[in-house]
């Protein structure tokens, strides 16, 4: 059951003796293994037909021909002598789960959920049947000849076949008509659980009933006996149900059910081969049928025969071994740790119940026992981390909560903005852009903050935005806003340039005035006795000249700057059509 799914069928009418021992095994990877049961070794491997799990393998009456169906929706016809694909065609829109070859070998039944009857020569669909709600697990013909023998037999018309599906407690019987009108089942057999194994005796004569043995998942075997003679509205119940149980006379007083794994009719059609017990070590027993009783329970002492015990149920839940020194960290709040208590026995648990006289612990004491370190929980600055910023932002956008959005969008840290935009989910990008546009429209002074967010969104999510087909209408408002703001940029930059020149000139003139004052004070003076008087008079003359020249230069420069100021003011008043709002903002 755990390995590759295996479906094994021998052909019914085998002509060549050497072919009798070959078993075809479909694997989970899509290859088919041909195994020789006589030699006990792998004879050959069929590859290249399927690329997914094989669901069913069927031998054709012509021995070197094999049919397989797979999860890849295809049916493959193999030549087993050359190990090559003879033909491959699409069997269904979903996976094909079951196959069955007609008694004359000219037709093939295939089923996924719907059932199709194929003509093997042309590989075309001959009939459609509605099928089951779930995947069909078994298909088999129940008759070899038609019940109405008046018409000439074409090999397929008038035959009945049976189908069973997973999770379906009804086995359906279908009738192949000469016309294509009727697609529904003519009758059905009801069982107690999903059928896992079906065997039947084929009806060869008109009055001979079809015997059906159905093993269910619950381990019961249901036997049906019915003459197929047209439509039957009500589902047919079983003539006999067989169960197997242990005697229950030794240690266990209660008998335990033993699951039946499979059942098959013997050649005499009267006795059954039962396979029961454990799948690894099954017991096969021949039982003669007594169908007068509706329910048969066979007592078998399976424990003496079986060495394996199947009572212990495996559980995936493991109890960890806990050491007293170990500190367990509970997910949730960082720094939250709880003291580990070793599991107590049932007697101690009863003691924990509070007696009437005792006082109950207060909530404060209980919280204290939880040992939550508050200082570790609080983040520095009281602001949430980037992860929670992204979560807050998404929450704010979904709930349209202005308070949350203000708290997130008013951050000035470039790093926080970048990380938040990077960690937010893709679906929140467009709502965020709409929110930023709305804020730019409503409050132009928030532009400096919103532009940072816009920059991060466009740099980090450019690839996503470029995939949107309706991007231009989505961002139309934002484009208009940007254009209207950029229009005034040229004039503002001119004004900025002129003001900058003025400011630099004023600063330069101040610097020039400052320089001589600094240089006038000598740091070191050498005095000579002979030329002291002459030098003193010369210095005074030079100083006077310098001061006069500087005075004249300053006057000229002030006049120039006054003129420039006037021209700039005229230009501003005359040329620029700036709004006072934008002017003040840019200044």
Q: Are residues 415 and 268 in the same domain?
A: no
Q: At what angle are helices 532-574 and 489-520 packed, to 10 degrees?
A: 170
- The whole-angstrom separation of Cα 100 and Cα 93 is 19
Residue of 426, 451, 456, 458 lying closest to 437 (CA atoms): 451
Q: What is the pLDDT of residue 436?
A: 87
Q: What is the pTM of this model?
A: 0.51
Q: What is the pLDDT of residue 272?
A: 92
Q: Are residues 132 and 267 in the same domain?
A: yes
For residue 124, being part of any structural domain is answered with yes
Mark which of 256, 282, 299 sits at the end of a domain: 299
For residue 533, being part of any structural domain is answered with no
| C-alpha gyration radius of the chain | 47
What order do you get walking across the sheet with 98-101 strand by strand? Answer: 98-101, 107-111, 115-119, 124-129
For residue 225, the surrounding DSSP H or E stretch is strand 221-226
Q: What is the pLDDT of residue 361?
A: 73
Average pLDDT by stretches of 10, the chain with 587 residues: 40 46 91 92 90 92 86 92 91 92 91 91 90 92 79 82 93 87 87 92 83 93 88 89 84 80 90 90 86 84 59 59 65 52 47 57 74 47 61 88 86 88 89 87 78 89 86 83 83 91 91 66 77 55 56 58 57 50 50
Show the tokens assigned to 296: 């048969």
Residue of 248, 231, 224 lying closest to 303 (CA atoms): 248
Q: Are residues 258 and 122 in the same domain?
A: yes
Mark which of 240, 268, 299 sits at the end of a domain: 299
Q: Are residues 295 and 395 in the same domain?
A: no
- The whole-angstrom separation of Cα 73 and Cα 69 is 7
For residue 507, being part of any structural domain is answered with no
CB–CB of 303/246 below 8 Å?
yes
Q: Are residues 267 and 396 in the same domain?
A: no
Q: Are residues 269 and 402 in the same domain?
A: no
Q: What is the pLDDT of residues 233-273, one digit of tens each?
A: 899 999 899 999 888 776 667 888 899 999 999 988 889 99
Q: Are residues 291 and 398 in the same domain?
A: no
State the total domains in the chain.
2
Residue owning tokens 């669901």: 55
Q: Are residues 417 and 285 in the same domain?
A: no
Q: Are residues 280 and 168 in the same domain?
A: yes
For residue 71, being part of any structural domain is answered with no
- The whole-angstrom separation of Cα 495 and Cα 571 is 9
Q: What domain range is 227 assigned to?
A: 97-299
Q: Are residues 135 and 251 in the same domain?
A: yes
> Pairing relation of β-strands 240-245 and 295-299?
parallel
- The whole-angstrom separation of Cα 346 and Cα 350 is 7
- The whole-angstrom separation of Cα 560 and Cα 538 is 34
- The whole-angstrom separation of Cα 447 and Cα 486 is 13
φ/ψ bin of 83: left (φ > 0), alpha (ψ from -120 to 50), beta (otherwise): left
Residue of 119, 7, 19, 110 lying closest to 64 (CA atoms): 19
DSSP states of 313-375: PP-S--PPP--TT--EEPSSSTTBEE---PPPPHHHHHHTSPPTTSPPPPHHHHHHHHTB-HH
For residue 194, the surrounding DSSP H or E stretch is none
- The whole-angstrom separation of Cα 576 and Cα 586 is 14
Q: Are residues 292 and 404 in the same domain?
A: no
DSSP states of 240-283: EEEEEE----SS--S--EE-EEEEEE-TTSSEEEEEEE-SSSEE
Query: Own/partner pairs for 423-432, CB < 8 Å, 24+ apart?
Result: 423/386, 423/387, 423/390, 424/390, 424/393, 424/394, 425/394, 426/461, 426/464, 428/393, 428/394, 428/397, 429/457, 429/461, 429/464, 429/465, 430/468, 430/474, 431/397, 431/398, 432/393, 432/397, 432/457
For residue 196, the surrounding DSSP H or E stretch is strand 195-201
Q: What is the pLDDT of residue 67?
A: 93
Helix ranges (DSSP H) in 4-83: none
Q: Are residues 396 and 291 in the same domain?
A: no
Reduce the secondary structure of 489-558 to three states and give it as a string: HHHHHHHHHHHHHHHHHHHHHHHHHHHHHHHHCCCCCCCCCCCHHHHHHHHHHHHHHHHHHHHHHHHHHH
For residue 12, being part of any structural domain is answered with no
Residue of 407, 576, 398 lying closest to 491 (CA atoms): 576
- The whole-angstrom separation of Cα 492 and Cα 479 is 20
φ/ψ bin of 104: left (φ > 0), alpha (ψ from -120 to 50), beta (otherwise): alpha
DSSP three-state, residue 433: helix
Q: What is the pLDDT of residue 196?
A: 93
Show the tokens assigned to 295: 């329910």
Residue of 273, 277, 274 lying closest to 304 (CA atoms): 277
Q: What is the pLDDT of residue 406?
A: 86
For residue 177, being part of any structural domain is answered with yes
Show the tokens assigned to 261: 């794994």
Mark which of 462, 487, 502 sits at the end of a domain: 502
Beta-ladder partners of 337:
329
- The whole-angstrom separation of Cα 529 and Cα 541 is 20
For residue 456, being part of any structural domain is answered with yes
Q: Residue 111 maps to which CATH number?
A: 2.130.10.10
For residue 360, being part of any structural domain is answered with no
Q: What is the pLDDT of residue 197?
A: 93
């Amino acid at each position: 059951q755990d390995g590759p799914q295996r479906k094994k069928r021998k052909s019914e009418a085998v002509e060549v003796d050497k072919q009798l021992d070959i078993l075809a095994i479909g694997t989970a990877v899509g290859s088919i293994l041909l195994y020789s049961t006589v030699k006990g070794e792998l004879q050959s491997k069929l590859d290249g037909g399927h690329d997914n799990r094989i669901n069913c393998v069927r031998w054709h009456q012509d021995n070197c021909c094999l049919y397989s169906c797979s999860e890849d929706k295809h049916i493959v016809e193999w030549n087993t002598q050359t190990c090559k694909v003879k033909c491959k065609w699409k069997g269904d829109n979903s996976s094909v789960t079951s196959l069955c070859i007609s008694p004359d070998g000219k037709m093939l039944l295939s089923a996924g959920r719907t059932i199709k009857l194929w003509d093997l020569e042309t590989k075309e669909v001959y009939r459609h049947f509605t099928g089951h709600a779930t995947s069909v697990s078994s298909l088999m013909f129940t008759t070899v000849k038609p019940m109405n023998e008046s018409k000439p037999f074409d090999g397929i018309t008038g035959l009945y076949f049976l189908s069973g599906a997973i999770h379906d407690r009804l086995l359906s019987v279908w009738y192949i008509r000469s016309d294509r009108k009727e697609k529904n089942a003519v009758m059905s057999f009801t069982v107690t659980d999903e059928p896992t194994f079906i065997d039947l005796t084929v009806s060869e004569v008109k009055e001979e009933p079809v015997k059906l043995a159905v093993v269910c998942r619950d381990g019961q075997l249901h036997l049906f006996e019915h003459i197929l003679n047209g439509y039957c509205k009500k589902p047919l119940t079983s003539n006999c149900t067989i169960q197997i149980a242990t005697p229950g006379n030794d240690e266990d007083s209660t008998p335990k059910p033993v699951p039946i794994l499979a059942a098959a009719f013997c050649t005499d059609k009267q006795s059954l081969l039962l396979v029961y017990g454990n799948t690894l070590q099954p017991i096969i027993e021949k039982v003669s049928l007594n169908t007068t009783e509706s329910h048969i329970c066979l007592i078998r002492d399976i424990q003496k025969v079986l060495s394996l015990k199947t009572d212990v149920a495996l559980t995936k839940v493991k109890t960890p071994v806990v050491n007293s020194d170990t500190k367990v960290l509970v997910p949730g709040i960082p720094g939250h740790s709880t003291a580990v208590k070793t599991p107590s026995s049932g007697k101690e648990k009863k003691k924990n119940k509070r007696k009437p006289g005792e006082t109950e612990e207060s909530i404060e004491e209980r919280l204290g026992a939880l040992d939550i370190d508050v200082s570790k929980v609080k983040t520095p600055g009281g602001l949430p981390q980037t992860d929670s910023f992204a979560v807050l932002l998404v929450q704010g956008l979904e709930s349209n909560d202005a308070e949350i959005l203000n708290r997130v969008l008013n951050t000035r840290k470039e790093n926080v903005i970048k990380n938040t935009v990077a960690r937010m989910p893709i679906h929140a990008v467009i709502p965020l852009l709409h929110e930023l546009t709305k804020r730019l429209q409503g409050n132009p002074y928030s532009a400096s903050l919103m532009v940072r967010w816009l920059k991060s969104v466009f740099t980090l999510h450019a690839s996503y935005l470029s995939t949107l087909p309706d991007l231009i209408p989505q961002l139309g408002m934002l484009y208009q806003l940007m254009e209207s703001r950029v229009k005034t940029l040229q004039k503002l930059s001119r004004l900025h340039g002129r003001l900058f020149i003025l400011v630099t000139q004023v600063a330069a003139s101040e610097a020039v005035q400052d320089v001589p004052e600094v240089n006038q004070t000598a740091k070191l003076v050498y005095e000579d006795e002979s030329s002291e008087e002459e030098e003193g008079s010369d210095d005074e003359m030079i100083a006077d000249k310098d001061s006069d020249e500087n005075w004249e230069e300053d006057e000229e420069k002030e006049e120039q700057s006054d003129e420039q100021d006037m021209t700039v003011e005229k230009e501003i008043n005359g040329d620029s059509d700036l709004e006072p709002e934008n002017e003040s903002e840019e200044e």
